[in-house]
Amino acid sequence: MIDDVRGRELPKPAAVAPDRPEGPHAAGVGGSARRSGRPTARGEARRRLAIGWLFVLPALAFFCAFVIYPLITAVRYSLYHWNGIGAATWAGIDNYVRVFTEPELLISIVNALILIVFFTVIPVAGGLALATLIRTMRPGPFATMARTVLFLPQIIPLVAAGIAWSWMYAQTGTINTILDAVGLGFLSRSWLAGFGTALPAVGLIGSWVLTGLCTILLLTGIGKIDASLYEAARLDGAGWWREFVTVTLPGLRREIAVLVTITVIAALSSFDIIYTTTKGGPGTSTLVPGISIFRLAFTQSEVGLASAFGIVLLALVLLAVLPIQLLARERD
């Protein structure tokens, strides 16, 4: 049926005057199309193109108004010295030079890179270990409960996670209470206030948020690996490590690439957790680009510099994400 209709309609475009499919000539030629009440194939194609663009435009308007236009504006701001109110003066690449030379700004970039350990390495490695260990768990009430709880940190706002963890780390908070109880009271301290402990402390909040997501996604991925591969490995006498390296890890390549991408973005553009726990302190020990941009723009009136930092942050994200994407795509 479909082929039949195609056969009648397809040759027509060649016969139709190409520029005026809707003109009288086209209508005259499209005999069979007219009989069935449908326009010619080419007219139809043009109509679909027009409708298609009509469908895309409203969505594109919002996208352009609140993503593309601000992005172009940010680039423009970044080339000026501007305090947000007065006259702007041309700065050239001054602001970009400052991002990479002012120690405080450089530190926030370094801190963001360190956070990748906590937002990416720990959750993905931990998720791999946990997913491998529980992959044979039978579905049931306990498995459902475990999934539900593991995902909980993804559901609550990061601000709430920040508040909950501030209390974990507080002088009289949960962690110190537990340390006291097990006789390690001498270790207790105000974790978020120490120069050496603050960055790992906020980093671990990221691990807490992301490990569940990584575990469940990797577990789903393991479920898709052919079970006979595991059996073959066992029959060949492979231990758990060989099995992990030769069966599990290659089977999860795609999932790992996805997780690394989203967790690296989360590390580089972290804001909510740090704003609610340390605001970048003590000193500059937990400063990250998001906090620096916010401060520069809205408390220090350095709009140009803040915009330049925003563009640098975007470049960092692209720099981190593109290679992962290319690698994952190439091997698929």
Partner 1 sequence: MVVNKAEAVIGRVVLVLVLILTLLPLAGMLSGALQPADRIPDGFSWPSDPQWGNFAVAFRTAHVWQLLGSSTLIILGVVPLSLLLSTLAGYALGNLRIRGGGFVFALLLLGLTIPFEAIIIPIYYEITAMGLLNTQWAIILPLIGLYMPFSILWMRAHFAGVPTELSEAARIDGAGIFQEIRRIQLPLAMPALSALAILLFLWTWNQFLLPLVLVDDPDKRTMAGALGAFQGQYLNQLPLLFAGALIIMLPTIVIYAVFQRQFIKALLQGAVKG
Kindly list the distances between the CA atom of residue 310 and the CA atoms of 135, 169, 287, in Å, as whole numbers in the listed order. Answer: 41, 30, 15
Q: How far is the CB of 134 from partner 1 (least distance, A)?
A: 4
Q: How far is the CB of 293 from partner 1 (least distance, A)?
A: 5
Which residue number, 24 or 140, has a Cβ lying nearer to partner 1? 140
Cα 221 to Cα 146: distance, rounded to the nearest angstrom:
17
Cα 109 to Cα 106: distance, rounded to the nearest angstrom:
5
Q: How far is the CB of 90 from partner 1 (least distance, A)?
A: 18
Cα 107 to Cα 113: distance, rounded to the nearest angstrom:
10
Q: How far is the CB of 325 from partner 1 (least distance, A)?
A: 9
Tokens representing residue 68 in the block: 């593309």
Kindly list the distances between the CA atom of residue 116 and the CA atoms of 181, 206, 269, 271, 273, in Å, as whole numbers in the listed order. Answer: 32, 9, 11, 14, 14
Evaluate whether 309 touches 99 at the Cβ level (below 8 Å). Answer: yes
Which residue number, 118 or 230, has a Cβ lying nearer to partner 1? 230
Which residue number, 36 or 89, has a Cβ lying nearer to partner 1? 36
Q: How far is the CB of 42 from partner 1 (least distance, A)?
A: 13
Which residue number, 25 or 45, has a Cβ lying nearer to partner 1? 45
Which residue number, 5 or 97, has a Cβ lying nearer to partner 1? 5
What are the residues whose beta carbons fall under 8 Å from the beta carbon of 17, sequence distance 6 or more?
23, 25, 26
Give the β-pairing of 89-90 and 80-81: antiparallel
Which residue number, 7 or 24, has a Cβ lying nearer to partner 1? 7
Q: How far is the CB of 146 from partner 1 (least distance, A)?
A: 6
